[in-house]
Structure 1
Amino acid sequence: MSPPPPPSPPLTSAQIRAARALIRWSAEDLARHTALSVTTIRRAELMPSATALTRANDQTIRRALEQAGVEFIDSYNGGPGVRLRTP
């Protein structure tokens, strides 16, 4: 039996902003898809790099954006980023 995969690294504020831009979602759209407040989304996006999101909120945002077609590129792949998942 193999061990579970390691948890995803926390999202950066730039990744959240870029992901929303790729799928043309406003902060309000992301808030609606995550049940988080718009204030929480905007506060996370204003940070210079790392967010102050709780692990649960970070994962909620990641899941919502991934379900919408975003793929997150973690920092060990040359720097954090985002791209659209290929169909």
Structure 2
Amino acid sequence: MISPAQCRAARALLDWSQQTLADKSKIGNATIRNFEGEKSAPQHATLDVLCRIFEAAGVEFINHSGVKLRT
């Protein structure tokens, strides 16, 4: 699963706002904001949705700590 830092980094690589990620994933903006701000930990299914949305957009998660765009 992804960490809050990876979520922020993935959004930055894609130039997505929290609202854009919320719209694309159908996850509430407050859930994303709280996750990225390390105020709460979403359910496993929510993190899975975020991973799939980012991966579909070309993001690769590296060793539980980094992200990069697929080449």
TM range (shorter): over 0.9
Q: Which has the higher contact order (CA 8 A, sep 6+)?
A: 2
Query: Percent same amino acid at aligned positions?
Result: 44
Higher Rg? 1
More helix by share: 2
Equivalent residue letter for 2:43: T
Structure 2 gaps, min length 5: none
* Shift in Å, 1:55: 0.6
TM-score normalised per structure 2 = 0.94
TM-score normalised per structure 1 = 0.77
Structure 1 gaps, min length 5: 1-9
Equivalent residue letter for 1:84: L
Residue 11 (structure 1) aligns with: 2
2:54 aligned residue (59, 65, 70): 65
Classify the secondary structure of the residue corresponding to 2:42. Answer: coil
Equivalent residue letter for 1:39: A
Off by >2 Å, runs of 4+ in structure 1 = none
- Aligned residues between the structures: 71
